[in-house]
Amino acid sequence: MLHAGRVARVPGRLAAMLDDTPQAVLANFKANGVQAHVFARPEGSALLELLIDGQVLYAFERTNPYDATPGKHDVVLNVQADYVDVASEDQTHEAPTWQSHEHGRFTAHGEVVQVGDEYAVLNVGWPLVVFPTQGREFREGERWHVDSPWPVHAFVRRSDTGNRAQEPIDDAV
């Protein structure tokens, strides 16, 4: 599990998988979720439209394209970052930020709050699990910029436990 003060080391290779299964991700990153509103979507689509802190984020659902119902859910968000770097001295006091761009590109700026063997969790206003594609060392407390040409991946923890057959159907597309 995660340990305070550890340094993430990723040898000069692509980052490893976040975990073996979506269920393992949700279990291992239980404390690193964000409350997000999941909007209705076409049946079977893996693209999620999420509302987080008043901003819309599009992400690929990794748990199950049929599983998350519209509404509030705890979501673990993960990105493989092509570019990660320590914030410059004049940027170290900036508030955490994130932005979703055209064609799936995602950028964020935040503080490293947890470090694992091949990833770090940044506070970008919410916990973001980051895998760098190049070898980087993260230290807790540092502020980092993240730039990913790839979309964010979402692992949705279902907040409802009722019978889905009795849920209203949203046919709006």
On whether residue 173 sits in a domain, the answer given is no
On whether residue 14 sits in a domain, the answer given is no
Q: Give how many domains the chain has, as a whole number.
A: 1
Q: Give residue 170's pLDDT.
A: 53
107 with 98: CB under 8 angstroms? yes
Q: What is the pLDDT of residues 80-99, one digit of tens each?
A: 888 888 877 766 677 888 98
Q: What is the pLDDT of residues 98-119, one digit of tens each?
A: 988 887 789 999 999 999 888 8
Find how far residue 14's CA is from the centre of its chain: 18
Q: What is the pLDDT of residues 127-169, one digit of tens each?
A: 999 988 877 888 899 998 899 988 899 999 876 543 344 445 4
Which range among 16-25, 93-102, 116-125 has the greatest average pLDDT? 116-125
On whether residue 117 sits in a domain, the answer given is yes
* Residues of the domain holding 136: 19-160
For range 14-19, the mean pLDDT: 53
Q: Give residue 84's pLDDT.
A: 80
Of residues 166 and 62, more confidence is placed in 62
On whether residue 130 sits in a domain, the answer given is yes
Residue 72, pLDDT > 90, answer yes
Write a three-state SS string for 72-138.
Answer: EEEEEEEEEECEEEECCHHHCCCCCEEEECHHHCEEEEEEEEEECCCCEEEECCCEEEEEECCCCEE
On whether residue 48 sits in a domain, the answer given is yes
On whether residue 10 sits in a domain, the answer given is no
Q: How far apart are CA 129 and CA 89, in angstroms?
A: 24
On whether residue 168 sits in a domain, the answer given is no
